[in-house]
Amino acid sequence: SQQGEEDPQALSIQEGENATMNCSYKTSINNLQWYRQNSGRGLVHLILIRSNEREKHSGRLRVTLDTSKKSSSLLITASRAADTASYFCATGESAGNKLTFGGGTRVLVKP
């Protein structure tokens, strides 16, 4: 079963716009991670936010975590055509480093 559910399932924006996607989960977590997957490729780790953190930045990425609402958001600012990909959230457990992935948000950035 999938722990995280992303919303929206698909997103189409113009280059330069911001892209926001959300992830909701059901059980308590140790951390939440975001991954990117380009078509036909493996997953690339973007950012990890721990359960005691509320916000984290990495370049043009901003991730928030609200454990009371069991939700997280990923914001990509000033999007580029190269940001076109599927984005997955994954919840991490405290023991074993096990990740449970959501279904992903497919982002299309039009030049």
Partner 1 sequence: EAGVAQSPRYKIIEKRQSVAFWCNPISGHATLYWYQQILGQGPKLLIQFQNNGVVDDSQLPKDRFSAERLKGVDSTLKIQPAKLEDSAVYLCASSLDWNGRETQYFGPGTRLLVL
Query: What contacts 24+ positions apart, CB below 8 Å, involve 96-99?
Result: 99/33
The residue range among 56-64, 67-75, 77-85, 88-96 that interacts with partner 1, by the rule CB under 8 A, is 88-96
Told to check if 41 binds partner 1 by CB under 8 A, we report: yes
Q: Does 42 bind partner 1 (CB under 8 A)?
A: yes
> Could you say which of 16, 26, 28, 44 contacts partner 1 (CB under 8 A)?
44
Binding flag, residue 2, partner 1 (CB under 8 A): yes
If you ran DSSP here, which 8-state letter would residue 77 be given? Answer: -
| Residues 48, 88: Cα–Cα separation, whole Å | 12
User: Which residue in 45, 47, 72 sits closest to 58, CA to CA?
Assistant: 47
Q: Are strands 5-7 and 55-58 parallel, antiparallel or unpaired?
A: unpaired
Contact segment (CB under 8 A) with partner 1 among 42-50, 53-61, 64-72, 74-82 equals 42-50
Q: Number of residues in contact with partner 1, rule: CB under 8 A?
A: 29
